Amino acid sequence: MFKKSNQLFERAQQVIPGGVNSPVRAFKAVGGNPVFIASGKESRIYDVDGKEYIDYVCSWGPLILGHCHPEVMKALRGVLETGTSYGAPTEREVELAELICEAFPSIEKVRLTNSGTESTMAALRLARAFTERPMIVKFEGCYHGHGDSLLVKAGSGVATLGLPDSPGVPADLARLTLTCRFNDLPSVQRAFEQHGERIAAVIVEPVAGNMGCVPPQPGFLEGLRKITTDAGSLLIFDEVMTGFRLAYGGAQQRYGIKSDLTTLGKIIGGGLPVGAFGGRKDIMDRVAPHGPVYQAGTLSGNPLAVTAGITTLKILRQPGIYDTLESRARTLELGMIQIANEANVSVTANRVGSMFTLFFTPRAGGSPPKRPDQGMGMLVTDWQSAKHSQVEKFGSFFREMLQKGVYLAPSQFEAGFLSTAHSDADIQETIHVAQQVFAGWGRRN
């Protein structure tokens, strides 16, 4: 079934570490070998063996308009006729920056980079320079790229000093990172009680997407805003995933919270490599060449990436786009929960806008009260509860959905995404395929 993909994976392992250029693509979390993709069109992708899939990865979020959107492709063909890179300013960079600043009231100035990782690294350096403090606070289960100071995990308890989570990260650097529990304000308050005068910033995914989709509990983001303001620290929203995804103004628009700095990526490049960080003018004016905080990038503001981003953002400004995404994602969420309940499969669903995750958690039992439409599984509100997920069941679900033509994120702890290209028919087909999978489980049991 995957003959060419398997052959390519054998070749890849000889010249690429693990055979992939990003770890989660290796399918190690779900079993088997990765599928190699040949092309994409609208809501579908096609592998090298010719098999077709409904795609809910969407390049891990950037393709909110689906694959090969005609307006984006037309714009890219046009810019290809003029060149691919100059290492000098272009008008398109200014236009994309203006669009970002218009969409996010908290962003008065913005610097373009090449990736989300670059953006978070630069934002943290800027926060430390602006506050003249060395420490940062992050949350267990939140991913902000592979910068050294962010590859840490929590120890026992809360508000613990970070320990390296990857070989090659110096312990002395990791100790400058405090790790708290997502959706747990008391843990943040304790961190500030112990280290407040040394904390430069709190960085958070306002909606977590890298332990699966986990929304903020009521009052959590508001609490972070107050704690950081009172302490003279900065609040950094990592909206690489949520920016222009949950609303045109990202999670900040959806929840009504303004951060001091914001990191962006994914959608602002329309499917091409891009990143950005921006915020208050007084902070951003510390960035070189205006200020002393150095940040640079040879391909930052690449003409192809900013052209795809500009075109994508202009389309997203059209009326009704986010209402349609919300409606179809809600239909998918409720449909999956209904068929899981009917098949007596214990799951819980988390969704915010067009981001979603189906967690294969144990039955709720004594967990906090649930919404009845979330499924029979226990709530997932942070990394500790996400880790209760039965990853073997998710792996079986993933493989069977893949075989039947539905491409999901190959990890229980990653969010899925819808695009404007996903039709009502796509949603119903996905629900029907999942129903077949769950029915098969019932027959085997």
**What angle (nearest 5°) sits at the alpha carbon of residue 24, between those of residues 18 and 25?**
70
Of the residues 47, 53, 56, 143, only one is catalytic, namely 143
Nearest to 402 by CA among 52, 29, 24, 6: 52
Residue 210, sorted as left (phi over 0), alpha (psi -120 to 50) or beta, turns out to be alpha
CB burial class (10 A; 0-12, 13-18, 19+) of residue 138?
buried
- The per-residue b/e assignment along 365-385, b for 16 or more CB within 10 angstroms, e otherwise, is eebeeeeeebbbbbbbbbbeb
Q: Is the dihedral of CA 345, 348, 351, 356 positive or negative?
A: negative
In degrees rounded to 5, what are phi and psi of residue 260?
A: -80, -40
Identify whether 323 is a catalytic site residue.
no
Q: Is 53 a catalytic residue?
A: no
Instruction: Determine the Cα–Cα distance for residues 381 and 217; give it in Å rounded to an integer.
Output: 8
Say how far apart CA 126 and CA 294 lie, in whole Å.
9
In DSSP terms, 53 is beta-bridged to: 45
Cβ-proximal residues to 278 (8 Å cutoff; 6+ apart), any chain: 100, 101, 104, 107, 108, 109, 110, 111, 261, 262, 264, 284
Q: Which of 266, 322, 382, 407 is catalytic?
A: 266
- The one catalytic residue among 55, 238, 260, 382: 238
314 is catalytic: no
- For 14, residues 6+ apart whose C-beta sits below 8 A from its C-beta are none
Q: Are 391 and 29 in contact (CB under 8 A)?
A: yes
Computed over its alpha carbons, how large is the radius of gyration of the chain? 22
Residues tagged active-site: 143, 238, 266
